[in-house]
A and B are shown apart, each in its own frame.
Chain A
């Protein structure tokens, strides 16, 4: 069996990123689109940690903390937005949210 190298992790991370991007492009449910964005952030985190292991450097793991923090803030804001939009429009279909003014 060959050894697992950094390339394998980059490939896995890329596949996850593409799946997330497909979710953003294909789905119409705003909550699912948010989940897809979370998965894309996670694939980046996986690449960070794999590189930290490959290079023997702690900085990659520290960066993951910042990504997780930003993701948490983004989710809180995004879900609050979704709830607010749902209150006025009674829908979370992304095609219905096409006006700057509610």
Chain B
């Protein structure tokens, strides 16, 4: 599942970009860090034999969604909102404790499972054709529901954005 050196470099970029996103004072910098994070994850997808997902990640996430974010940040002039680190001291401490608890839960799950006995499976066909066939053979109903969800979201956004009389 990829070269260890490549994994470490990409993981370092991903985690650093994530931390930069959370800690940055300027919202535009946060958005750009998130783009870097998404792009690094897209490279992970290519390593993991998912080239089509990687392209979708770049176009939809790093492209469309982040442009929407940047647009709203600049529209509202929210680049520099004060009090960004948030709240009071006890809230920060509580957040730290909760994060450590979450790490402990994940670590327990991974360690309990023990070492991986079975090796990685052989490479499978992940071309857009194969993905599309699987999508429309086994997941037709979820696909339709997703379509309705998108329609509902679209109507909702239009209703929200209407000027009140």
Interface residues of A, Cβ cutoff 8 Å to B:
1-12, 14-23, 25-29, 31-32, 34-36, 38-39, 42, 45-46, 49-50, 52-59, 61-62, 64-66, 68-77, 79-84, 86, 92-93, 95
- Given A14-B106, A35-B34, A77–B21 Cβ distance below 8 Å? no
CA distance A75 to B61 in the complex (A): 10
How many inter-chain contacts with C-beta < 8 Å in the A-B complex? 236
- Given A22-B95, A58-B124, A73-B150, A38–B76 Cβ distance below 8 Å? no
Which residue in chain A gives the minimum CB-CB distance to B162? Answer: A84
CA distance A11 to B161 in the complex (A): 41
What chain A residues lie within 8 Å of B14 (beta carbons)? 12, 16
Q: Of A52, A71, A77, which one neighbours B48 at CB under 8 angstroms?
A: A52
Contact status A39-B81, CB under 8 Å: no
Q: Of B37, B52, B85, which one neighbours A42 at CB under 8 angstroms?
A: B37
Contact status B81-A29, CB under 8 Å: yes
Contact status B157-A62, CB under 8 Å: no
Quick one: which of B55-77 are within 8 Å of A by CB? 56-57, 60-61, 64-65, 68-69, 72-73, 75-76
